């Protein structure tokens, strides 16, 4: 695979990145993590946040299902998932207004220099639609009696008519034309002409597409519609194998004339299959090989580090052109991150770890950092010693308080940040890790009715975690500060405060463990020490007897977990405190490395 540079020269193109399937539509709750399904078009904030997070992590390519897959309202979907927010709710009916989030995602990706791979349909009949919509619209659905209405519970060959029925194929081509011919009002460019879209994928995890169908669709995209992008075969080779017809050299040559990329997914990861399939793609078909999805949490397969090492080796040998991890999420609208429970969620640089990590968030962060390093190596770029962060301030979206006792706070996070420091009257009173699942209580007797200076500091890890046995660290830290002014707990104002940057050496705490959180905060303020705080998930935090905050072990090292046992008083609203609206003003700031 090659790319043309601005000076007209050509160079070989290697990439790595993530899947962000929900850029066009989403079924996860953006406001309340771990709550019920909410179908929505993601906000501009969420799209900005996740795309920038992916870039800061190292992604140069993002695979985006719902920028291309947007069909059906639930009749032919598993468990009747779906809604009216799709582009093609039924055959031949186009809802132009439902392109809006897709349009913004393409615009934003282009601004960030991220290229997109866009599938056009899906083997699976989930909320966003798939091949069964096209079968159902023509009376060819075979879902009757299938558990949960899910094609995951049926023989996939029962969907083979999608590839052979002339009416269904014609309907699918009509839909492809709707997507590719759509002119993005934000860019003025049709999707088929937009260089941000690197490739159109014939479908997600297709099991049994015929060679004739794949070549027909590829030819229609390139010749029939005149698209200027590549075409990637969506067949899931690791499960169904290469189409046996491709063993015929003549058919293989015809296929390679119109198809540009062979793709594959790994659930679980398998080094042997990776070697076999990548070499067949390159040596027999003369086509680049891309791993479109990596189920990276090693569930039933090989360790992700071993898989990444083999991918890098095959990349050096010219057998793998790129890989993409499943799947990335970003910050919620009010606090924390949007949570998805398939066991493969990626957040950068930290977030709630999948269940397979058994609440070991330190191990999760190290794994995500290893994935980031792999991305840079795949792309032939140096691994940064300093990582970027968004320029926007964090937003306090929830605040309750009982003067002299506690405050309860929720913070909408910032791409690239991983720790937020709360400072009152110049004194650090708490740290919040960037993985809130709900507004948290901070017990502190210093916050009174006359407190005039409650600050929210945002801290970012700029240096790579050192992965030695002690998790020691001696890198640089940068502070980003915005002022939150609280007056008598009766009015909330977000006032811009000048952006401060400070570089401090992080070092070990040599003294014994502090006996209170205020002491921890004070030592941190003096020493520049980043503390990673992890709540004991087995503790009931409500109406606990007052206990000092306990630290695990006498010697607290930089990245070791800290155990907090927190007590909460009876929740009581401060008089007339309403966080109903706020405004932010831009202020001069220093641009950070991105």
Asked if residue 19 belongs to a domain, the reply is no
pLDDT at 576: 30
pLDDT at 475: 25
Task: Write out the residue range of the structural domain in which residue 455 sits.
Answer: 395-564
pLDDT at 488: 27
Asked if residue 591 belongs to a domain, the reply is no
Asked if residue 18 belongs to a domain, the reply is no
DSSP 391-408: SSPPEEEEEEEETTTEEE
Asked if residue 552 belongs to a domain, the reply is yes
3 state SS for 408-419: EEEEECCCCCCE
pLDDT at 554: 25
Q: Is the peptide bond before 349 cis (omega within 30 degrees of 0)?
A: yes
Q: Cα dihedral angle (69, 71, 73, 78), rounded to 10 degrees? A: -60
Of the candidates 215, 210, 179, the residue with the CA atom closest to the CA atom of residue 197: 179
pLDDT at 424: 75
The dihedral built from the CA positions of residue 410, 56, 6 and 181, taken in this order, carries a sign that is: negative
Measured distance CA(268)–CA(544) in Å, rounded: 43
Asked if residue 344 belongs to a domain, the reply is no
Measured distance CA(323)–CA(584) in Å, rounded: 39
pLDDT at 582: 26
pLDDT at 418: 82
CATH of the domain at 88: 3.20.20.80
Asked if residue 352 belongs to a domain, the reply is no
Asked if residue 240 belongs to a domain, the reply is no
pLDDT at 269: 96
Asked if residues 149 and 77 have their Cβ atoms less than 8 Å apart, the reply is yes
Could you say which of 207, 233, 259 is where a domain stops? 233
pLDDT at 445: 74
Which helix (H) or strand (E) segment holds residue 332: the answer is none
Of the candidates 470, 565, 530, the residue with the CA atom closest to the CA atom of residue 349: 530
pLDDT at 390: 93
Asked if residue 445 belongs to a domain, the reply is yes
From first to last of the 594 residues of the chain, give the pLDDT tens digit: 877 777 777 889 999 999 999 999 999 999 887 677 889 999 999 999 999 999 999 999 999 999 999 999 999 999 999 999 999 999 999 999 999 999 999 999 999 999 999 999 999 999 999 999 999 999 999 999 999 999 999 999 999 999 999 999 999 999 999 999 999 999 999 999 999 999 999 999 999 999 999 999 999 999 999 999 999 999 999 999 999 999 999 999 999 999 999 999 999 999 999 999 999 999 999 999 999 999 999 776 679 999 999 999 999 999 999 999 999 999 999 999 999 989 999 999 999 999 999 999 999 999 999 999 999 999 999 999 888 999 888 888 988 888 888 889 999 999 999 888 887 777 888 888 888 888 999 887 766 666 655 556 565 433 333 232 222 222 222 222 232 222 223 232 222 222 222 222 232 222 333 333 333 333 333 333 332 323 333 333 333 333 333 222 222 222 222 222 222 222 222 333 232 222 222 223 333 333
Which helix (H) or strand (E) segment holds residue 522: the answer is helix 517-527
Asked if residues 392 and 403 have their Cβ atoms less than 8 Å apart, the reply is no
Domain count, the chain: 2
């Amino acid at each position: 695979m090659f790319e043309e540079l601005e000076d007209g020269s050509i160079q070989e193109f290697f990439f790595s990145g993530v899947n962000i399937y929900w850029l066009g539509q989403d079924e996860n709750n953006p406001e309340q993590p771990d709550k019920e399904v909410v179908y929505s078009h993601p906000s501009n904030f969420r799209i900005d946040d996740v795309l920038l997070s992916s870039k800061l992590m190292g992604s140069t390519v993002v695979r985006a299902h719902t920028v291309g897959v947007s069909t059906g309202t639930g009749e032919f979907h598993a468990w009747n998932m779906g809604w009216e927010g799709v582009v093609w709710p039924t055959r031949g009916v186009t809802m132009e207004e439902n392109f809006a989030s897709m349009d913004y995602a393409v615009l934003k990706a282009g601004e960030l220099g991220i290229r997109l791979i866009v599938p056009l349909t899906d083997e699976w009949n989930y909320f966003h639609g798939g091949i069964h919509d096209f079968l159902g619209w023509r009376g060819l659905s075979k879902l009757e009696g299938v558990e949960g209405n899910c094609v995951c519970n049926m023989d996939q060959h029962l969907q083979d008519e999608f590839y052979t029925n002339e009416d269904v194929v014609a309907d699918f081509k009509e839909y492809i034309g709707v997507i590719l011919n759509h002119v993005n009002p934000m860019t003025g460019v049709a999707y088929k002409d937009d260089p941000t879209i690197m490739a159109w994928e014939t479908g997600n995890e297709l099991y049994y597409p015929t060679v004739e169908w794949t070549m027909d669709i590829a030819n229609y995209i390139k010749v029939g519609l005149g698209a200027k992008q590549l075409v990637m075969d969506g067949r899931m080779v690791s499960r169904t194998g290469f189409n046996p017809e491709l063993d015929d050299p003549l058919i293989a040559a015809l296929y390679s004339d119109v198809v540009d990329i062979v793709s594959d997914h790994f659930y679980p990861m398998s080094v042997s299959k990776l070697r076999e399939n990548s070499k067949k793609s390159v040596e027999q078909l003369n086509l680049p090989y891309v791993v479109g999805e990596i189920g990276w949490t090693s569930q039933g397969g090989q360790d992700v580090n071993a898989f990444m090492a083999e991918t890098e080796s095959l990349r050096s040998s010219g057998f793998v052109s790129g890989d993409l991890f499943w799947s990335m999420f970003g910050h919620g609208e009010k606090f924390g991150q949007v949570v998805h429970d398939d066991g493969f969620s990626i957040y950068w640089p930290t977030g709630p770890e999948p269940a397979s990590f058994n609440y070991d968030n330190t191990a999760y962060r190290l794994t995500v950092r290893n994935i980031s390093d792999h991305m840079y190596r795949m792309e032939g770029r140096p691994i940064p010693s300093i990582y970027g962060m968004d320029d926007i301030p964090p937003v306090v979206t929830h605040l309750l308080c009982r003067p002299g006792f506690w405050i309860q706070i929720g913070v909408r996070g910032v791409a690239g940040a991983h720790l937020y420091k709360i400072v009152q009257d110049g004194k650090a009173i708490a740290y919040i890790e960037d993985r809130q699942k709900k507004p948290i209580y901070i017990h502190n007797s210093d916050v009174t009715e006359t407190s005039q200076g409650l600050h929210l500091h945002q801290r970012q890890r700029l240096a790579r975690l050192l992965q030695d046995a002690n998790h020691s660290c001696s890198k640089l830290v940068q502070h980003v500060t915005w002022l939150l002014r609280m007056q008598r707990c009766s009015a909330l104002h977000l006032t811009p405060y000048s952006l401060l940057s400070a570089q401090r050496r992080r070092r070990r705490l040599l003294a014994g463990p502090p006996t209170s959180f205020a002491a921890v905060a004070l030592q941190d303020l003096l020493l520049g020490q980043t503390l990673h705080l992890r709540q004991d998930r087995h503790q009931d935090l409500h109406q606990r007897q007052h206990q000092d905050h306990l630290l695990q072990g006498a010697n607290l090292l930089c990245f070791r977990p800290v155990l907090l046992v927190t007590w909460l008083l009876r929740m009581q609203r401060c008089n007339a405190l309403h966080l109903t609206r706020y405004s932010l003003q831009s202020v001069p700031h220093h641009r950070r490395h991105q």
